[in-house]
Structure 1
Amino acid sequence: MKKERLSVIVPVYSCDRYLLEMFEKLFLDGLRRHGGPELQLVVVDDASPLGAETEALVRGASAWAETVYIRNPANLGYVKSVNSGLAAASGELLLLCNSDTRITPGSIERLRSALDSGPRAGLAGPVSNGGFSSALQQYRGGPAPLASFAPEELARFDAFGSALASAPAAPLEAGWLLGFCLLIRRAVYREIGPFDEAFGFGYLEEMDYAIRARRAGWKLLAAPDSFVYHGGLRTSAQFAAPHAGSQTARLFPFKSFFRIMRGQRALIKKYGWKVVGVPQDAAGAAARGF
């Protein structure tokens, strides 16, 4: 049976050379090596200062993927960029990725397998190295953080991901999934629509999307045999501007804090106070009414 076509959507904001290098050597290199054949790559440039350089990298990626490059007329924020990318994507499977992630060997195949586990399996997410609570189903740990984007450094995480993928494990039903790397069936997108743009520059928009999907009868699955690295380099001084996304949280903690609070406020406005602190496992979420 022919595989469903995959579209990978990645918003970017290249405001300095570090972020440009990360997009090239961490994200694009991982996708080229481990993304699989017949891939569509949709890059949404959120008015990057280094727009010409970003576009050149996307042109280079056209050697191994069908590419779509969209440049926003102004810095519109993460959620609007994601929605723009989803609207331009043509695949039956839609993979949302942050630009500070690395696809590892077998990770996409295991996410596909999770969605193949049942007719109402609608969203799947990998496990990752950190940046969030170790209590989450998607926390897995991993090797020591990256010191550089050198091939030998990246190989450590590729080997770790390959080892997990070589030992298939049953997916775990989740109440919600982290948005750094999220695989969505087009049927889900058709039914519940795009992400809610009230969440602006991001944070917690994925929880809202999860609640909408679950209420429509779709299952969310965490794949313990799919590993995707998330986080850029370990040296926080190299983190750049606040427009650049989640990996800047350590350099701009107050800005990130207020964005999280805005996300919480948007969730509470839609679902009430019971949404605060909903556990990631499906049973815990169901106990809260989600």
Structure 2
Amino acid sequence: MTLLDADDASARVAAIIVTYNSSATLPELLASLDTSTVEVRAIIVDNGSADDTLIVAGREPRALVIATGANLGYSGGINVGRTYVREGEHVAILNPDLTVEPEMLAGLLQVIDDDPTVGIAAPQLRGLDHEERFDSLRREPTVMRALGDSIFGNRWRGRPAWLAETLRADRDYERAHDVAWAGGAALLISAACDRAVGDWDSAMYFLYSEETDYARRARSQGFRVRYVPDAVARHEGSGSGQPAPLVALISVNRIRYFQRLHGPVRTGLFRIAVAVQHALRPHDPRHRYSLPVVLDRSRWARLPSGDPVPSTLSIRSSQNRNR
């Protein structure tokens, strides 16, 4: 058993798991952490689930369970979890619909231990069927990369790097290398990087692009983002089940991120490049919904956003059942 009691001070890794209606998948993640070859503490931050997530989480007596009573978004939940990370612990960010292979955390931890300039280590993400591979690695966004992804999507997977933000070639997932950023479903952040970068930006990013922003800030502090193919997590993913407002939010947050780094002219071109994705897919009602949202900034305020952080939280651990 390597899932330690939340009050155990000997863990090297604190795993922050932000849940939202995750009762169906959370048990498998916790069970997989219990087979990890690295000792880990589980910090479950529930974002106001309406299902039985808190009941399911409560069945694992070793976990620290924090009920926010509100939907703070992914970044907001991570930030709550960070307040319970102990000094010196590395921070694993794990989606509740993941399972981790026994050696995954050990593989990521070795990379961080071997080179202190690696601040973020990312595993290979594969489907639950063990066959599908998620294209989880990214380049820094540009206008042409956004346009290339909008036009071609998963077609012409071997197109040049200047036309693709997403890395899709098999060779990019077969070797360890540095990337600009990686999908936030599973990451290991070194204690030094976590301390230097600080909170995730929950004010700007309720959901999506938070990992893009965090990785950029980590790189600006001198840390590298390293992909580790031998470390594997299994991910269910949301696939085509995302509702239209969240599809629109993905695009809007990409534009918000780009705008922070570039002037109005380039940002305008980037927004058009992102809009092309939706304009070319009118058969999909989610894209029909998203296109006018992307083009009309006045609609952005109506997209999903986080609730205020409550003044009190319900916390349960082995020594603190409810305060």
Unaligned runs of 5+ in 1: 142-168, 232-246, 278-290
Q: 8 Å contact 1:79–1:199 — kept in the other structure?
A: no
The answer to whether residue 197 in structure 2 is matched with residue 201 in structure 1 is no
- Higher mean C-alpha deviation, range 175-184 or range 73-82: 73-82
Q: Deviation per CA, 1:124-164, whole angstroms, max 9, x where unpaired?
A: 000112444686569879xxxxxxxxxxxxxxxxxxxxxxx
Equivalence for 1:219: 224
Aligned twin of 1:155:
none
**Given the superposition, is the C-alpha separation of residues 257 and 68 from structure 1 closer, same or farther in structure 2, using an over 3 Å criterion?**
same
Write the mapping of 1:148-187 to structure 2, written as runs, cut at 5 A: 171-187=176-192
Matched ranges for 1:80-229 at <5 A: 80-90=76-86, 92-129=89-126, 130-132=133-135, 171-229=176-234
Tell me the amino acid that sits aligned with residue 34 of structure 1.
S
**Structure whose alpha-carbon radius of gyration is higher:** 2
Q: 2:72 aligns with which of 68, 71, 76?
A: 76
Q: Percent identity?
A: 25
**What SS is found at the alignment partner of 1:21?**
coil
* Distance of aligned partners of 1:94 and 1:250 in 2 relative to their CA distance in 1, 3 Å threshold: same
Q: Quick one: distance in 1 between partners of 2:98 and 2:225?
A: 21
Question: 1:83 touches 1:195 (CA, 8 Å); kept in 2?
Answer: yes
Are the structure 2 counterparts of residues 138 and 221 from structure 1 closer, same or farther at C-alpha, using a change threshold of 3 Å? farther
1:23 aligns with 2:26: yes
CA distance in 2, matches of 1:181, 1:42: 14
Mark the CA change 1:94 to 1:139 in structure 2 (over 3 Å): closer, same or farther.
farther
Q: Deviations over 1:204-257 (max 9, x none)?
A: 1111111111111111100011110111xxxxxxxxxxxxxxx44522342232
Secondary structure of the structure 1 residue equivalent to 2:83 = helix
Shift of 1:103: 0.4
Aligned partners of 2:103 and 2:47: how far apart in 1?
Answer: 30
Q: Compute the displacement of 1:59 (Å).
A: 3.3
Aligned to 1:40: 41
Residues of 2 paired with 1:124 and 1:69: CA distance?
Answer: 25
- Which SS does the other structure have where 1:198 is aligned? coil
Q: TM-score under structure 2 normalisation? A: 0.62
CA displacement at 1:265 relative to structure 2:
2.2
| Letter aligned with residue 119 of structure 1 | P
1:70 deviates by: 0.9
Distance in 2 (CA, whole Å) between partners of 1:261 and 1:40 is 34
User: Are residues 27 and 199 of structure 1, via their aligned partners in 2, closer, same or farther at CA, if it must alter by over 3 Å?
Assistant: farther
For residue 23 of structure 2, what is the amino acid of its counterpart?
Answer: L
Distance 2:204 2:95 in 1: 16
Structure 2: which 5+ runs fail to align?
Answer: 1-9, 127-132, 137-153, 158-165, 274-323
Q: Which amino acid aligns with 2:56?
A: L
Q: Structure 1's 176 and 191: CA in aligned 2 closer, same or farther, altered over 3 A?
A: same
Q: 2:57 maps to what in 1?
A: 58
In the aligned structure 1, how far is the partner of 2:26 from the partner of 2:243? Answer: 22
Q: Which amino acid aligns with 2:14?
A: S
How far is 1:108 from its partner? 0.8
**Residues paired across the two proteins, number:** 223
Asked whether the 8 Å contact 1:79–1:195 carries over to 2, the reply is yes
For the 8 Å contact 2:26–2:57, the answer to whether it is kept is no
